[in-house]
């Protein structure tokens, strides 16, 4: 079999070829079963609404934000179907009386915490109705409407459904760290579009860090001049991104991390530090010593002026102050700070940091802002209207709720750790066995996925965020009972396909990065390898090799994607085959074909690796794939014959598998559990 044909087979095998987003494993799916996030309530009727070029939309009156959203929806609908729709530039004044999609809204929402996002969507044979209390609720309903698009031999249609929907949690966020690696405005915008598609409503924008200060500050211009390497957002760009987000019903909350993670601040204004300068932007990762001086009034005068400007720039009610990972070394070594602590009766650095936070709280309150911070800021002196973001564990969040504090969960949603989607999906801010009372549960506002940027660039960040974050978005929106992992993965692939139309690059940049690795050559064999690899998990990569802000993020590990679908589906198919006792001949033949491709792939890849020095580091992994696939083939043959393997083969294969478990070039081989399962059957 030609290697390219074999590769196409692998794609088919892994369930990744779709037509109109509605085909899976060659079987037509009903589009209402593909919705993500799953609505709160839905019923399905007989019939459908047939779409043609006469399709038109009306809104009961003009809501500028909704009018723009309707225009975008019509354009996306036209793009998917190729239909020449008459309202590609929607104007409510030009709406026709005899339209077939009617939208009715009661009021315009102010983009702030707690807005009403409910909607009701009804599709019948001759009409579509969308009603909502606010324009934001209608915008959420428009995303559901687009997901319902289906097709058959007669053309495009929407199934007859009645949906009544509302979010489970009011705070459904994504943190994007633009500091460790700068993320240009277009990266932020396309991810806002992705967030809107899955009904997320908070962009947590991490804007200051040891490695960079990313906001133009007119009061203290040295912050962006000396703390950014020239990579920062102008205030004009920030206003445009806030407008762009608010147009999609998304709040923008800036984070200015204090008192630690502050090197970029102190590179500009070293007199604010707890130890003498000079300071320079950090190029490496990890917890650093530089920290603001909490004993100096100059610190608070500076921060008052700073937050006055930022409070005017960012329109959300909340500002995030960070507050995490202050190691306290500079405080311990500073005699003046120690004297200050003694005069105040502070027993430890936690008490001193609480004092610092209290001063920040007074500043933010003066400018009509509320404080949010990581769970380290919890202290009994803090008022109950602050919000705590739990990153160290659910225990901190539960403890805060029991004491009357409002909390968000991020522990378990660190998408930079490269965990599979199901790990995040089954992590619930309020599981059914939560120890909290009904009243305390109201203090759990939702959660945020966190995309820290040590190991991402503008070209691969989308692949680390999407599509896995859509599973997290469903956890925040849908009822707690929605927990079917297999169905989540099925719908996630369909949604991933649709996210591409919004400009997200999680799919297309993968092959581009592989082409660069081959010097523009054929990527078929390389893709066959990388499709079954994943970057190593958690923060292991930092321990294997020293990394910096200037480290190239263009290697195989940077192209390899989390939760590799080809490997995941192979593991699933092996498990299903073994459940049949190895008696399903069709499944066995499918597994044999896949294993044969992997066994032979090294021969195809060897000359490519030889000609591309950047690939030399991955050669041992390519060999491991071939050897492990051969083990799988031998085990498969014995399973079919009902034979057991001899001790010599078992020992040899065990050694090969054990060696293949070792990370190579910071990647790991994800078909190994399936290979081991096949081998186990012939022991």
- Alpha carbons 142 and 121: distance in angstroms, whole number: 9
pLDDT digits (tens, 9 = 90+) for 362-393: 999 999 999 999 999 998 888 999 999 999 99
**Percent of the chain beyond pLDDT 70?**
95
* Backbone torsions φ then ψ of 510, nearest 5 degrees: -60, -55
pLDDT score for 15: 47
**pTM for this model (two decimals):** 0.95
Please say if the pLDDT value at position 654 is more than 50. Answer: yes
Report the top-level CATH class of 171-502.
alpha beta
What per-residue confidence (pLDDT) applies to 630? 98
Give how far Cα 399 sits from Cα of 253, 312, 405, 492, Å. 24, 34, 9, 34
603 has pLDDT over 80: yes
Tally of CB atoms within 10 A around 170: 16
Q: Read off the pLDDT of each residue in 243-256 and give the average, rounded to a whole number.
A: 98
pLDDT-derived band at 23 (thresholds 50, 70, 90) equals very low
The CA angle 500-71-476, to the nearest 5 degrees, is: 55
Mean pLDDT of 232-256: 98
- pLDDT at position 92 is 73
Is residue 12 pLDDT above 60, yes or no? Answer: no
Among 157, 152, 115, 117, smallest CA distance to 138 is for: 117
pLDDT tens digits for range 350-363: 999 999 999 999 99
The DSSP code for 377 is G
Q: What is the model's pLDDT at position 174? A: 99
Beta bridge partners of 105: 132
- How high is the pLDDT of residue 6? 55
When the pLDDT of each residue in the chain is averaged and rounded to a whole number, the result is 94
For range 662-678, the mean pLDDT: 98
Q: Check whether 24 has a pLDDT greater than 80.
A: no
Least trusted range by pLDDT, from 255-269, 275-289, 389-403? 389-403
| Strand, coil or helix: 146 | helix
Q: Any idea which residues carry the catalytic annotation?
A: 325
* CA 360 distance to own-chain centroid: 30
* pLDDT band at 96; cut points 50, 70, 90: low
d(CA 420, CA 142): 29
Average pLDDT over residues 236-242: 98
* pLDDT beyond 90 at 90: no
What does the pLDDT read at residue 20? 40
Res. 3: pLDDT tops 70: no
Q: What is the pLDDT of residue 156?
A: 97
Question: Is 50 exceeded by the pLDDT of residue 18?
Answer: no
Predicted pLDDT of residue 379 = 87
Task: Check residue 166 and give its pLDDT.
Answer: 98
Instruction: Read off the pLDDT band of 64 (50, 70, 90).
Output: very high
- Are 574 and 591 contacting, i.e. CB atoms less than 8 angstroms apart? yes
At 7, the pLDDT band (50, 70, 90 cuts) reads low
What pLDDT is stored for residue 89 in this prediction? 78
Q: For the beta carbon of residue 391, count every other beta carbon within 10 angstroms.
A: 22
- pLDDT exceeds 60 at position 13: no
Could you tell me the pLDDT band of residue 220, with boundaries at 50, 70 and 90? very high
Average pLDDT of the residues in 531-538: 98
Pick the CATH number of 41-165 from 3.30.379.10, 3.80.30.20, 3.65.10.10, 3.40.800.20: 3.30.379.10
Identify the pLDDT of residue 502. 96
Task: Tell whether the model's pLDDT for residue 262 goes beyond 70.
Answer: yes
pLDDT at 599 over 70: yes
């Amino acid at each position: 079999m030609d290697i390219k044909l074999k590769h196409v087979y692998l794609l088919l095998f892994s369930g990744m070829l779709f037509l109109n987003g509605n085909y899976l494993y060659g079987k037509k799916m009903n589009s209402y079963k593909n919705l993500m996030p799953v609505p709160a309530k839905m019923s399905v009727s007989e019939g459908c609404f047939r779409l043609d070029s006469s399709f038109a939309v009306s809104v009961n009156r003009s809501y500028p934000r909704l009018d723009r959203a309707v225009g975008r929806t019509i354009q996306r609908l036209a793009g998917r179907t190729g239909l020449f729709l008459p309202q590609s530039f929607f104007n409510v004044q030009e709406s026709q009386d005899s339209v077939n999609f009617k939208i009715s809204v009661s009021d315009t929402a102010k983009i702030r915490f707690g807005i009403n996002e409910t909607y009701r969507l009804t599709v019948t044979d001759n009409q579509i109705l969308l009603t909502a209390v606010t324009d934001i609720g209608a915008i959420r309903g428009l995303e559901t409407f687009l997901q319902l698009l289906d097709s058959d031999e007669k053309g495009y249609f929407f199934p007859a459904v009645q949906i009544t929907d509302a979010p489970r949690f009011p705070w459904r966020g994504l943190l994007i760290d633009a500091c460790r690696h700068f993320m240009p405005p277009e990266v932020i915008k396309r991810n806002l579009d992705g967030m809107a598609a899955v009904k997320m409503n908070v962009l947590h924008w991490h804007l200051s860090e040891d490695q960079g200060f990313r906001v133009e500050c007119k009061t203290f211009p040295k912050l962006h001049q000396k703390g950014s390497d020239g990579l920062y957002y102008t205030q004009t760009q920030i206003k445009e991104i806030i407008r762009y987000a608010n147009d999609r019903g998304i709040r923008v909350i800036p984070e200015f991390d204090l008192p630690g993670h502050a090197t970029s601040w102190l590179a500009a204004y070293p007199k604010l530090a707890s130890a003498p300068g000079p300071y320079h932007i950090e190029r490496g990762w990890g917890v650093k010593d530089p920290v603001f001086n909490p004993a100096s009034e100059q610190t608070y005068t500076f921060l008052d002026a700073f937050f006055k400007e930022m409070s005017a720039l960012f329109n959300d009610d909340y500002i995030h102050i960070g507050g995490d990972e202050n190691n306290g070394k500079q405080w311990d070594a500073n005699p003046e700070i120690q004297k200050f602590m003694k005069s105040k009766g502070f027993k430890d650095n936690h008490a001193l940091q609480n004092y610092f936070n209290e001063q920040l709280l007074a500043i933010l309150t003066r400018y009509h802002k509320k404080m949010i911070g990581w769970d380290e800021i919890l202290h009994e002196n803090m008022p109950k209207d602050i919000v705590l973001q739990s990153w160290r564990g659910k225990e901190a969040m539960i403890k805060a709720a029991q004491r009357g504090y409002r909390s968000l969960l991020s522990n378990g949603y660190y998408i930079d750790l490269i965990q599979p989607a199901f790990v995040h999906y089954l992590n619930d801010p309020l599981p059914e066995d939560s120890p909290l009372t009904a009243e305390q549960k109201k203090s759990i506002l939702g959660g945020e996925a966190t995309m820290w940027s040590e190991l991402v660039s503008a070209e691969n960040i989308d692949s680390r965020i999407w599509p896995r974050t859509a599973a997290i978005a469903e956890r925040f929106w849908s009822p707690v009972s929605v927990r079917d992992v297999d169905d989540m993965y099925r719908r996630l692939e369909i949604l991933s396909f649709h996210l591409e139309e919004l400009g997200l690059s999680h799919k297309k940049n993968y092959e581009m990065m592989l082409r660069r690795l081959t010097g523009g050559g054929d990527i078929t064999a390389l893709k066959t390898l990388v499709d079954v690899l994943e970057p190593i998990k958690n923060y292991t990569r930092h321990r294997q090799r020293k990394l910096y802000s200037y480290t190239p993020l263009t290697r195989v590990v940077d192209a390899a994607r989390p939760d590799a679908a080809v490997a995941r589906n192979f593991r699933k198919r092996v498990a299903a085959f073994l459940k049949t006792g190895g008696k399903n001949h069709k499944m066995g033949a499918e597994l044999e074909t896949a294993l044969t491709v992997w066994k032979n792939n090294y021969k195809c890849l060897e000359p490519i690796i030889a000609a591309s020095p950047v690939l030399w580091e991955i050669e041992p992994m390519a060999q491991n794939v071939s050897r492990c696939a051969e083990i799988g083939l031998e085990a498969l043959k014995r399973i079919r014959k009902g034979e057991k393997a001899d001790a010599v083969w078992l020992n040899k294969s065990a050694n090969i598998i054990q060696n293949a478990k070792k990370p190579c070039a910071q990647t790991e081989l994800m078909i190994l559990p399936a290979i081991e399962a096949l081998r186990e059957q012939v022991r």
